[in-house]
């Protein structure tokens, strides 16, 4: 299990660590056994030293100032050992997620454009509805409907349209969550907070888009509306 020359060796387990993702954040944790370097077979050590660099993890309060101190410490032991890529852990993680971050920014941009188009479309629909119902609005106003009643009528009709779109979109997003699984780490594809905030944001955008047509309905002159009809 531990390489050539270790088939009959016995090891004492001194601890168990949590699962880690040592390849990529999207790769499932692998079964791993940690062995002290002095106990590794010489042939295995030569292969490791010849193919893979030795990596040191150093904990520091200010990682940005650690590079020079690390190089000086290593060269103090052996001046011939080359030291490369002294980086903070957040830089390493950020570099490993560069592709996923680009995809998420791209998806975020498309989502923003979709929200803008949806709000413009909803505004257009409600403006058209108000224009088509000018005579009805005038009659309602002449029969005693207050501006608040007219505004509530328009907002309620728009709310039904927006609510139907939000429900259909939420159901559709639940079915497409598996496509985003490889882009997420530490967050489930069915994160409750996401499915609460997103509909709320869309509802607010819809209300803002409906506000102007609703205000226009409040200002309809009954006499002018009836004459126009």
128 and 197, same domain (yes or no)? yes
190 and 216, same domain (yes or no)? yes
Range of the domain at 78: 60-94
> Buried (b) or exposed (e) across 171-180, using 16+ Cβ within 10 A?
eebeeeeeee
116 and 213, same domain (yes or no)? yes
Confidence of residue 1 (pLDDT cuts 50, 70, 90): very low
Arithmetic mean of pLDDT, 8-15: 78
What does the alpha-carbon distance between residue 76 and residue 73 come to, in Å, rounded to a whole number? 5
113 and 78, same domain (yes or no)? no
**Whether the predicted pLDDT of 81 surpasses 50:** yes
Confidence of residue 20 (pLDDT cuts 50, 70, 90): confident
Give the pLDDT of residue 113. Answer: 92
103 and 89, same domain (yes or no)? no
Q: Read off the pLDDT of residues 129-167 as tens digits, 9 standing for 90 and up.
A: 877 877 888 888 888 888 888 888 888 888 888 888 888
Number of domains in the chain: 3
68 and 176, same domain (yes or no)? no
Three-state secondary-structure class, residue 42: helix
186 and 120, same domain (yes or no)? yes
75 and 166, same domain (yes or no)? no
Give the pLDDT of residue 109. Answer: 92
Which of 103-107, 132-136, 220-224 has the lowest average pLDDT? 220-224
129 and 177, same domain (yes or no)? yes
Mean pLDDT of the chain: 78
> Buried (b) or exposed (e) across 182-199, using 16+ Cβ within 10 A?
ebeeeeeeeeeeeeeebb
66 and 145, same domain (yes or no)? no
185 and 77, same domain (yes or no)? no
78 and 171, same domain (yes or no)? no
Q: Read off the pLDDT of residues 36-75 as tens digits, 9 standing for 90 and up.
A: 777 776 666 667 666 777 777 778 777 666 777 778 888 8
**Whether the predicted pLDDT of 99 surpasses 60:** yes
């Amino acid at each position: 299990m531990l390489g050539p020359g270790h088939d009959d060796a016995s090891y004492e387990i001194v601890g168990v660590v949590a699962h880690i993702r040592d390849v990529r954040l999207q790769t499932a944790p692998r079964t791993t056994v940690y062995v002290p370097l002095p106990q590794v077979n010489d042939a295995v050590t030569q292969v490791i030293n010849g193919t893979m660099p030795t990596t040191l993890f150093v904990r520091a309060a200010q990682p940005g100032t650690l590079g020079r101190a690390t190089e000086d410490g290593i060269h103090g032991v052996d001046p011939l050992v080359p030291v490369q890529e002294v980086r903070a852990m957040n830089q390493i993680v950020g570099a490993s997620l560069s592709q996923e971050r680009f995809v998420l920014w791209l998806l975020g941009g498309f989502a923003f454009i979709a929200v803008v188009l949806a709000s413009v479309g909803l505004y257009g629909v409600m403006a058209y509805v108000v224009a088509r119902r000018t005579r009805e609005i005038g009659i309602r106003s002449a029969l005693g409907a207050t501006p608040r009643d007219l505004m509530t009528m328009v907002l309620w009709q728009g709310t039904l349209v927006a609510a139907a779109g939000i429900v259909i979109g939420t159901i559709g997003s639940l079915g497409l969550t598996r496509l985003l699984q490889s882009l997420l780490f530490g967050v489930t594809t069915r994160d409750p907070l996401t499915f609460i905030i997103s509909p709320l944001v869309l509802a607010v955008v819809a209300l803002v888009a409906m506000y102007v047509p609703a205000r226009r309905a409040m200002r309809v002159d009954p006499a002018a509306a009836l004459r126009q009809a």
